[in-house]
Structure 1
């Protein structure tokens, strides 16, 4: 089965339309930069990049190399090496999920080299000019990382002070896994990463079909192993779930947290609030389980978007933090993040950058908003500070509404970064196809920081059921921005019998302006996820007196 021909889920419009996971990446700039590093001709790059090339060529030798990987696979790579005679810190940079490969890191690797490191960047197996097949951070990829480090040590004269791994996206997961298994690794930078791949693919038992389809499409020119193709096809088709979860377990940094903790490996994370490939909670799962030095920066946008400007050398707080992190943990230089705390969150939209010493300190206090029955003349329920019980609200399945995660994977997040978040016309949501609950206007600005929790009693009319909870910020005209969301699937529902569930929505850092309302929308379809509902079925939400349905928000 060819990756490019993988089926979209159930024939729906697929939000994973862009083939590149890096739509804003200036590949032409990277090409000019690498050409200048090789030739010394600095006419092509911009003046500042040209200065960096000139300085680097005076200090280090840049060369294209073939790195010996697992099973004899040759991995396309590049080496920035200082003259022999001094033991130096090392950085290995496995590539993202793209045919561009190690070229993505060309500018930043040069900047690290100017700071005194020897650097090896390489293209992950199966991508670009690297041999082998894509195994999605499998054992071969972990072995590749260790062999790459060994190769860099050899090229550095057999000596080094400390070694770190840095990766974006695919390379970030590989970096964490190598660090867990290779005792020579002293620090990690993991940007736009994953922590639990099974949770990323099956959030609340709901297949994340748009993300898997997007990964499939972005690898159309790569050489995916037969097993990788089977796993991706199984996720899209909704089969062999236990086999896929076993496969994902082996490829999840969370599986090896004890190994990371046994050596107190320092890990620097960077993630986007509205990440549509690897949702934020599964990365926080690893972050919160780590007991060594750690830091996470959370930003507006989507996968790899917040750090892309820095990738090509523009000022960027994520890459600046990565430089400080590795300078501290590999070279012993002071790092301000030691005093600023573990968490740095840029609140949506264009909000302040808030720092906290820990994730718990960053998170707001739980504030319950109880769901009530439909209010007369509106058809919408309310979100109030007092329990409302004895009511029910029913909506049908089978029809999507304007309440969706995003228009497109990654690209909607790029627009968010530019200050143009998607607007949702909440008045166009057919209340026959969704349950809607609305709060009163906020008297002042209300900041949510942390993971909202929805406790809900529902009754399904069919043995399989899916709904998606969307939390919106709504102005007085009915236009909304999405705050967060979460899917939920019950594949073995008891027809006609109430069931109660706790659902963690994805982590958020969001300030609701004064006078706006919170709106909770439950509908049964979203193009980002699989749909287990049967045609013509219904979902009924209720609120028992002894366990009222409630949305708990982390309010600062």
Structure 2
């Protein structure tokens, strides 16, 4: 590879808030340094053995890839010598100044299995030139140039090509594969399918996610178009422009190309993902007709993948290796005969295989909202439940973007203390409806759906719906949620909301109850309500209000 003009050094651990807080930047940098120098003294024994084994079978070098517009991209190459045919993997970096170094351990693992690997830092981040374009045309061109770079340096024939990425790198990988027929398989971990739904969910601005993206890119160089689109979401302006910008960067827009080529795609995602909510990726997964697999895990953005990035055991990374072994090297490892969806159930952590989500045989249980604050089997009309706007509530989507998921992975999901929800409902800060006690474990599997009618005094309105597991002691835990906004109805209108809550695999224990809560304010979202306005929920006879829960 071409030697960089700057002195050879690896990126310093980034100081900006990270979307990947569990990644040990110092350890990954030390690993990458050892790959280049051969000095193993700074590594623990397991990592030292991996470096030593890699250096015995392949050559590691770092340098630059010439990307679009002549911009130089910081990169590293794991290359085998000799004329033997090999498969190859390209790995675009996540949304971090750590760049390709985030993949140092996993790229080495692929190379040790016989792959040639190129990992590179996306434009605008770390030591790479250019401006971050959020998987725009320049990023796609960079991905194709990176593949050219790898193929030009392969010592023998390349028999199969895979793109693998985490988060931002996964989005770039999918979009590159859509534009480059040379790509034979993709592993897209914690990615997006529809970027528009990441920015606006049910017409509601996902402001906390956008703030997190901008904070994590404080030391990056964003393109003016990217910066403007993200800031427009925060300011609540030019929603049409933001949607068009996002559409051009959405793998969902390329479903026909993926299906024409029957491109094998492996996805992984977290149930309580706060950055890229799961439903928009599930929508892409459902539309694909080629070989596909989806691993769904407890946690939040990149939480399930972080352990593997550091070299620790990981179901997701094991599946990624097996996926490429089968689709790029024709390994008869059984991947093609396995269930398409593997769900980690909250909170037993059991791994549950199925051919879809929801699994075949799942029934939908409809529970009607009543004026008595109950979820009942029969509709009730003529009631009103007021909801006060502009007031903080005890129920929120999570305590923090990304980080809340690590507590869940450690077995400490957020619990809403007994009495807080009741007190908030009594003062109209929340509206709440409680179902009957479960006679046996209630296996919620799939996407709960809510239909509700409310009257809004003003022309703009927002509410957030949460489905909770209410324990006998009065405490509750989040199963799933979703926001909804109406931006166009005239004042004092009846608004009908039909929304999908985020997908879930949740076991409600015997004796626990389903609890549906609505709030008009959540710090994760930009709301359209006026302060101290009121939303009045009701249930008209022609269109009763209800929640549908898929039960396995």
TM (normalized to structure 1)? 0.94
Instruction: Quote how far apart the aligned CAs of 1:294 are.
Output: 0.2
- Which residue in 2 is equivalent to 1:119? 117
Matched residue SS, 1:325: helix
Tell me which of 521, 525, 528 is aligned to 1:525: 521
Q: Which runs of 4+ in 1 moved over 4 A?
A: none
Distance 1:20 1:363, change over 3 A: farther
CA RMSD of aligned residues (A): 1.3
**Residue 547 of structure 2 corresponds to residue 551 of structure 1:** yes
Contact 1:363 1:449 (C-alpha < 8 Å) held by counterparts: no
- Which residue in 2 is equivalent to 1:388? 380
TM (normalized to structure 2)? 0.95
- Which residue in 2 is equivalent to 1:330? 328
Question: For 1:355-395, what per-residue CA distance to the aligned partner results, in whole angstroms no more than 9, with x for missing partners?
Answer: 01233426832110111103xxxxxx101122222222112
- Which residue in 1 is equivalent to 2:249? 251
- Which residue in 2 is equivalent to 1:476? 472
For residues 153 and 427 of structure 1, the distance between their equivalents in structure 2, rounded to whole angstroms, comes to 62
Instruction: Quote how far apart the aligned CAs of 1:337 are.
Output: 3.2
**Residue 178 of structure 2 corresponds to residue 186 of structure 1:** no
Residue range with higher mean Cα deviation, 144-153 or 19-28: 19-28
Tell me which of 298, 301, 321 is aligned to 2:299: 301
For residues 178 and 335 of structure 1, the distance between their equivalents in structure 2, rounded to whole angstroms, comes to 27
Q: How do 1:31-50 and structure 2 match up within 5 A?
A: 31-50=29-48
Instruction: Quote how far apart the aligned CAs of 1:18 are.
Output: 8.0
For residues 222 and 154 of structure 1, the distance between their equivalents in structure 2, rounded to whole angstroms, comes to 29
- Which residue in 2 is equivalent to 1:350? 348
- Which residue in 2 is equivalent to 1:51? 49
- Which residue in 2 is equivalent to 1:231? 229
Q: How do 1:27-426 and structure 2 match up within 5 A?
A: 27-157=25-155, 159-361=157-359, 364-374=362-372, 381-425=373-417
Distance 1:254 1:417, change over 3 A: same
Q: Which runs of 5+ in 2 are unaligned?
A: 1-14
Contact 1:307 1:318 (C-alpha < 8 Å) held by counterparts: yes
Matched residue SS, 1:359: coil
Contact 2:91 2:119 (C-alpha < 8 Å) held by counterparts: yes
Distance 1:58 1:193, change over 3 A: same
Number of residue equivalences: 534
Contact 2:367 2:377 (C-alpha < 8 Å) held by counterparts: yes
For residues 426 and 151 of structure 1, the distance between their equivalents in structure 2, rounded to whole angstroms, comes to 59
For residues 357 and 463 of structure 1, the distance between their equivalents in structure 2, rounded to whole angstroms, comes to 43
Question: For 1:74-128, what per-residue CA distance to the aligned partner results, in whole angstroms no more than 9, with x for missing partners?
Answer: 0000000000312211100000000000001001101100111000000000000
**Residue 483 of structure 2 corresponds to residue 487 of structure 1:** yes
Question: For 1:273-295, what per-residue CA distance to the aligned partner results, in whole angstroms no more than 9, with x for missing partners?
Answer: 00000000000010001010000
Contact 1:351 1:511 (C-alpha < 8 Å) held by counterparts: no
Contact 1:38 1:63 (C-alpha < 8 Å) held by counterparts: yes
For residues 71 and 116 of structure 1, the distance between their equivalents in structure 2, rounded to whole angstroms, comes to 32
For residues 288 and 409 of structure 2, the distance between their equivalents in structure 1, rounded to whole angstroms, comes to 29
